[in-house]
Amino acid sequence: MHEKLEKMIVGVDLGGSKINSILSDSSGNIEARDLRDTLAHEGPDAVIKRIIDSIKQVASGRDIAGIGIGAAGACDVATGVITLSPNLPGWHDIPLKDNIQREFNLPVHLENDATAAALGEHCFGGAVGIDNLIYICVGTGIGGGILIGGQLYHGASGSAGEIGHMTIDINGPRCPCGNSGCWETLASGTALAREAVKRIEAGAQTTILNFADGQLQKVSAHRVYLAAREGDRLANELISQTAHYLGVGLVNIVNIFNPQLILIGGGLSRMGQLLLEPATKMVRERAYELAVRAVRIELSPLGNDSTALGAVALVLKSS
């Protein structure tokens, strides 16, 4: 795909809650990293400053070939503009590439975070040699990256892969995108935490609050998982419900794309088989048999680094 570069590459994963920057060589070996809160509520200018500071932290004193960024939301890849991001408030037509390029005077490449993750897995992770891949990031929201015939699929206007916004329940919860009952309103980490809070407020008996310092506002998907591991009935019930909705979406994806491989990453994937097993069971029961026989559904081997490594791969592809 590329000659081995002597210079290093910076890959940035800009998420709704975290910025993960890495310094990597051309084989995907990570030599430095910086992880910090996005603090997206402070708006685009403040977040861009934090991205710049994060890049400086990992690139300190090194010779850099380029910078790749995988960002939450719809991106115009050609212009390097984030057109819309439901999980980054105020991000409408933000020229992120130009802002970063101006600061560092280096080539900068922008891609949707989940699309970048699909490329990262294809180049360095669990999808090497796989030409038909769907990568699903289940975290704050749900994003998707689509690889068809070995090529990233962007769609007509660059917004392909927004699978978190397919409608699962037309009467479901309101989504930040403006629709109701989107997949991510039912199967994301945010959805799991929201349901836990709702049930606790309704008086459900549970130990979830014990893991959240007794504070409702600290209830998170991870804390629900911790309670589930200790045998909490409500926590396990809520995760089963989340897995059910995850499975519904996976059935649709298997039927539409007929992929060889679906890789699931993002924060919720750390629940492992507790989440994956019931979801894949639903796929086996409900999706077309021919498509089910062709597909493997697995956890992302690159984990939290899939998007940042995909951002590195963007630079390598263009070199």
* pLDDT given for residue 277 in this prediction: 96
pLDDT of 4 higher than 60: no
Task: Based on the fold, state whether residues 295 and 175 are members of the same structural domain.
Answer: yes
- The beta strands (E) that lie in 54-157 are given as 64-71, 74-76, 81-84, 92-94, 108-112, 133-138, 142-148, 151-152
Query: 56-112 pLDDT, tens per residue?
Result: 999 998 999 999 999 988 899 999 999 988 779 999 999 999 999 999 999 999 999
**189 and 97, same domain (yes or no):** no
Q: Mean pLDDT over residues 37-65, rounded? A: 96
Same-domain status, 43 and 135: no
Cα-Cα-Cα-Cα dihedral sign, residues 275, 281, 284, 287: negative
* Cβ contacts of 102 within 8 Å, gap of 6 or more: none
What's the confidence (pLDDT) of residue 157?
Answer: 82
Shared domain for 132 and 64, answered yes or no, is no
Per-residue model confidence as pLDDT tens digits over 195-246: 999 999 999 999 999 999 999 999 999 999 999 999 999 999 999 999 999 9
178 with 291, same domain: the answer is: yes
Tell me, yes or no, whether 228 and 251 share the same domain: yes
- Confidence (pLDDT) at 87: 78
Please check the confidence at residue 47 and state whether its pLDDT lies above 90.
yes
Helix H or strand E encompassing 195: helix 189-201
Enumerate residues 6+ apart whose C-beta is below 8 A from 182.
164, 165, 166, 167, 168, 172, 175
Q: Bridge partners of 35?
A: 20
Report the first-to-last Cα separation within the chain, whole angstroms: 9
pLDDT for the residue numbered 207: 97
Name residues whose C-beta falls within 8 Å of residue 197's C-beta, 6 or more positions apart in sequence.
216, 219
Is 1 a domain residue?
no
Characterize 25-60 residue by residue with b for buried, 16 or more Cβ atoms within 10 angstroms of its Cβ, and e for exposed: bbebeeeebbeeebebeeebeebbebbbebbeebbe
What is the domain extent for residue 257? 128-300
* Residues 6+ away with beta carbon under 8 Å from 290: 258
* Per-residue model confidence as pLDDT tens digits over 164-201: 999 999 999 999 889 999 999 999 999 999 999 999 99
Confidence at residue 276, expressed as pLDDT on a 0 to 100 scale: 96
The CATH number of whichever domain residue 272 belongs to comes to 3.30.420.40
Q: Is 113 in the same domain as 148?
A: no
pLDDT in tens, 246-278: 999 999 999 999 999 999 999 999 999 999 999
State how far the Cα of 50 lies from the Cα of 47, in Å rounded to an integer. Answer: 5
Q: What is the pLDDT of residues 282-303, one digit of tens each?
A: 999 999 999 999 999 999 999 9
Q: How many domains are contained in the chain?
A: 2
- Give the pLDDT band of residue 140 (cuts 50, 70, 90): confident
Same-domain status, 167 and 260: yes
Give the model's pLDDT for residue 126: 93
Cα–Cα distance measured from residue 250 to residue 41, given in angstroms and rounded to the nearest whole number = 31
Residues 6+ apart with CB under 8 A from 246: 138, 187, 275, 279
Asked if the structure places residue 3 within a domain, the reply is no
Tokens of 280: 């894949």
Does 97 share its domain with 197? no
Q: Are residues 291 and 195 in the same domain?
A: yes
Q: Predicted confidence band at 158 (pLDDT cuts at 50, 70, 90)?
A: confident
Query: Is 166 inside a domain boundary?
Result: yes
